[in-house]
Amino acid sequence: MTPDPYGDPLRFGQRVQILRGRRGMTQGQLADLVGVSPHTLRKIENGQQKVPGLEMVMRIAEALRVADLSDLTGRLDMHVDLFIGPGHPRLAAVKAAIDSFPLASAVEPPPVAHVEARLHAAWKARHRAPNHREVIGQLLPDLIADAQLLVRHADTSSDRRAAQSLLAQTYALAQFFIAYQPDPSLLWRVTERGMIAAQESEDPHTIGVAAWLMAQAHRDSGPRHFEAADAVNLRALQFLEPLLPDSSDDVLAIAGALRFELGYTAARRRETGTAWAHWDASNLMASRLDLDYYHPVTSFSQAIMGAHAVTVAVELHQGAESVRQAARADEHTIRSRPRRARHRIEEARGYALDNQPDVALATLEKAHRSAPETIRYNGYARSIILEAIESPRAPGRRRASKLATEIGLLAA
């Protein structure tokens, strides 16, 4: 009887061998994926070589597509979700700025208009830059420090509300930087602080953005948190909907984005009718916006609704429908480079579901050209590429290996 790598007290090498066998991979294929010789891998599996360092363990875990690092190591205290990408070089500096809370400061904050202009420029840079995490990672530490200073030095209730709004928007930008990186506790600190600052601001649009981000954080934590995601979405919509008849475009757009999030979560549950009903309601809200309008945080717009339809179809595991929606969505241009790359990844998932692996890989190459840092940190993209590397067709393997090397999945 084959041992169970998840239950039996096995050596690391035995776990590698069993999990590799379950993936249908040869020693040569796995060795090539992780950058060692077949001889070295054979010694690891046979226990003739000591357990490799953490970097190599992570490479093996990712190549074997285990759900959790403890599945490979056998140590339950080593829980690491492998759908989270590698840490960005600027993560430590951003984390230090978030965690820093000087209790007193003689430093005068910059003018509110100055911080507001920098924040606006940071959001624009985030949408335009192919390596958007690098760009906003440079800007975030000073922005966080200055926004916190503004709150501490606010003299009037009006000034304090305005400062809290800027702080909440800064935390929102930080959440985009931190997402899919190996520090979920930091993500939650930023998410919760952003919501608190938004509530203190009393600004409907700021509250809506914070709720949108919090709902995503809940949903991305797994199925057990879907109800919490829905609860945040629904409360935010109940708060915003009475304001919509006379609201600004930004408030209408964040309400539309929240409505779509309900559909996204329903699709994750495979609730087909509910998912498409929320998409329809969200699409109706988008139709009230000008054709050239684009929400500065969520990218909500008329143009984004085609991409959202692809996402719903993919999450419902409707391969053919995903492909059909992808063809329709390409009629519109998504302005944001990272959001455009994310859409390409969703399209690639659809093509993979529809058993078109070559088209899926070609679509991921488009995503890489649009925004390399988006695909580098996206677990779905990494999974599709790793699957393509195991293709029986040599051209597909070479193409996948080249893309894997470019995004850092394989050593150059």
| Angle value at C-alpha 317, between 316 and 320, nearest 5 degrees | 110
**CA of 166: how far to CAs of 51, 146, 246, in Å?**
48, 10, 23
Which residue, among 309, 316, 374, 312, has the nearest Cα to 340 in the 3D structure?
374
Which domains are present in the chain?
12-73 (1.10.260.40), 88-201 (no CATH)
Q: Give 14-52 as a DSSP string.
A: HHHHHHHHHHT--HHHHHHHHTS-HHHHHHHHHTSSPPP
Q: Rounded to an integer, what distance in angstroms lies between the CA atom of residue 196 and that of residue 411?
A: 42
Structural element, H or E, at residue 159: helix 157-178
pLDDT at res. 3: 43
- Phi and psi at 68, nearest 5°, equal -150, 145
DSSP state of 100: -
Question: What tens-digit pLDDT sequence spans the chain (412 residues)?
Answer: 344 444 444 678 888 888 888 777 788 888 877 888 889 999 988 888 887 887 788 778 877 767 666 667 765 444 444 445 668 899 999 999 999 877 766 778 889 999 999 999 999 999 999 999 999 999 999 999 999 999 999 999 999 999 999 999 999 999 999 998 888 889 999 999 999 999 999 999 999 999 999 999 999 888 889 999 999 999 999 999 999 999 999 999 999 999 999 999 999 999 999 999 999 999 999 999 999 999 999 999 999 999 999 999 999 989 899 999 998 887 678 889 999 999 999 999 999 999 999 999 999 999 999 999 999 888 888 888 888 887 778 888 888 889 988 887 765 5
Q: Of 31, 28, 36, 6, give the one whose Cα is nearest residue 18.
A: 6
CA 141 – CA 123 distance, rounded (Å): 15
CA 57 to chain CA centroid, nearest Å: 23
Q: Report the C-alpha gap between 290 and 275 in whole angstroms.
A: 25
Q: Looking at the DSSP assignment, which residues form a beta bridge with residue 68?
A: 81
Beta-bridge partner residues of 81: 68
Cβ atoms of 204 and 251 closer than 8 Å:
yes
Tokens 């054979």, residue?
42
pLDDT digits (tens, 9 = 90+) for 262-271: 999 999 999 9
